[in-house]
Structure formats: structure tokens, C-alpha cells
Amino acid sequence: MTPVISFTLSRLTALVALSLFSATVARTTSPVTSEEMRIHGEASWRVATSLWGSAPWRPSGPSGFGPSANRLRFEQIRLQVARQLSPRLGEGVTVAILDTGVDSEHPDLRGVLNHAAAYDFITRQSGAGEEEGGSYTGHGTAVAGIIHQIAPRARLLPLRVLTAEGRGASDNVARAILYAADQGANVINLSLGCAQRKPVITAAIENVMARGVIVVSSVGNQNRASADYPAAEAPQAALLVSVGSVDAQGTKSSFSNYGNTEVNANGERVATLFPGGTTNVTGTSFATPQVVGLIALALAEGRTPREVTERLVGGAERLDALSANAPYLGQLGGLVNATRLYPAPSLAQR
């Protein structure tokens, strides 16, 4: 029987991370089993409700999406200086987005989506558009919009593994991970997860890492002292990176899990795309694609996968010194510093 997982969405005003931040995801080809989980939040994969309440996520209105929409957030991770070292802007790199799908007709994504290889692992059909009318419709499009802002020439491969209500089956996620690598993905964005380890997903990640594919997974939004899986396994896996969320001051976001976190970005009220428009979103689901975008930039400049992940984690700026982070001493990882992905000490010290 296919195990069903509820992935916690990190919110477009609160969505997921395999990237979804809240909500309970539920439709698969098999009946629900005792392994059913909820999205990051209440149980395992539920949207962080501490900031946004318990109502299903809805877009908060036009965000002013564009080069300056997230200027302060991107300055926090040193993107501007890194851009000087990334003239290819992600060109030649393919990023797979395993999520609720992506709006295939969004004008801001024109020319960057791999429509030919996009696939829906729920309906078993080509294409991976968003399902309308769900509590988490738009989560995948929001993730894609953030990656595109950071690495605008990277190719995006949408793979639908979560319903519009934020649920998905672990075997579908595993199949999509393997499929992504088969289609030439260099990086995989997982803004989703669950509280229990899923061997089938672990095996798929090990398979693609052996092929040089980097997997980036959000830690979840329950303010819990352990990350959701598969992010929880990142410290033992060279090409698996776990991502948490901080605020503009570098303080741990109230919803972000901790304990197995390696790196962080600002996942609060991030301006991004929504089907047919733009919005602002919050959650570890939306810190994760920022890290994915930075990885795409570095890979496009000829860095090896191992070099990128070592520099990413090793060069992150420690957060323990902040008094507000004192309760999480040694459990937060660091704030991403994009310049550390490049061997340019003079720029990295700016």
C-alpha cells in the first residue's frame, strides 16, 4: 500500500517546504495508511500558523515582484556581491521543483520552464500545472518565482507531487527525485517533508547524490527542536542541505524548526509569483528556494556540487551570537553568505 504523506507547506502568507508551509495534503492513488502525516504545522507538514493564524493560505495581494522586490532580504544573504561573480546567472543549470505544480502560463516564467519534461506524479500525466481552488494552490509557483529572481537564467523543471491541499505520497516523491536526475536536474528543491523518516525517499536522495545532484530541503514550520525529514538527514549527507528561516535581524523565525538546520535565509513575507499574479509568502518553504537559487548561480560558474555545498554550509555566518537566539545555541546553523560560494576572499570580506 502506498504510504501517504502530508507535507508541511511554508506559506505564501504561509506555505510548505519538500517546501509547503501549512495545510494537510491528501490525495494519492492509494488509500491513506497509518503513515499519514500532516503538513508542517500541527503535526508533521503543516503551514506555520504562529504568524498567520490557522486559516488556509491566501495570497496577500500584489507584491511589486521585480528586481527590487526582495532587496533587503537578498542583501541579507549577500546576493548583490555574489551576482558580480555570477555573470551566467544560472544559465545551463536545471532546478527541479517538487511541489504543487507551477503555473505554466505565468508571464514572468516564460522561457524558463521545461514544459517537455514536466510531469504530474499524482495524475500520471505530462505537465505539472497548479490545481485550482485548493488551500495550497500556488505554493509551487511561489517557490519557482523565488528561484527565478535569484538565478533568472536557470531552467526550472516542475514536478507535481503534492495536491492543492498539500498532501502527497512518499513513493511519488521518491519517483520524482529519481526522474528529476534522469532529466538532467542539477539541484532539487524540496519545500516539503514529514516527521518520520521515509526509507524510500532516503534511498532516492542517496541515488541522485551519487550522481552529483544537490538536494535542498526545508526543515519545517513547527518550532520544533528537530527538522522534518528528509532535511533531518542533511548533516550526514554531503549533497543534502537543510534550510531554516530567520527574520530581518537574523533571529530564528518563530515557526522554524531547528536542531538539524545547516543554513538559513529570510523566509518571512517574501515577494514572489502566484498563479496569474504576485503575492508575499512566509515559511521555511520560501527560505529554501533562496538557497537553491544561490546554488544554481555557483554551479553555472563551474563550481562542483561538493565544493558548493561545503562552501555553502562552511561559509554560513553563525547566528549564536544574537541574544534572541540564545535558547537555540548550537542548533541553528548559519545565515547564508552567497559570496562564500566563490573563491574570492577580497569580495567575500566586503
Residues taking part in catalysis: 99, 139, 285
Residue with grid cell 508571464, as numbered in its chain? 107
Rg (the chain; Cα; Å): 17
Backbone angles phi, psi at 174, to 5 degrees: -60, -45
Are 273 and 145 in contact by the 8 Å Cβ rule? The answer is: yes
Residue with grid cell 530581518, as numbered in its chain? 248
What counts of helices (H) and strands (E) characterise the chain? 9, 14
- Give whole-number Cα distances, 108 to 66, 78, 158, 274, in Å: 9, 24, 15, 10
Q: Which residues contact 5 (CB under 8 A, 6 or more apart)?
A: 25, 35, 36, 37, 44, 45, 167, 168, 169, 170, 173, 194, 198
Residue with grid cell 509551487, as numbered in its chain? 140
Are 220 and 193 in contact by the 8 Å Cβ rule? The answer is: yes
Quote the CA–CA distance of 220 and 229 in Å, as a whole number.
9
Q: Which amino acid is at 192?
A: L
Cell representation of residue 254:
518563530
Quote the CA–CA distance of 3 and 34 in Å, as a whole number.
8
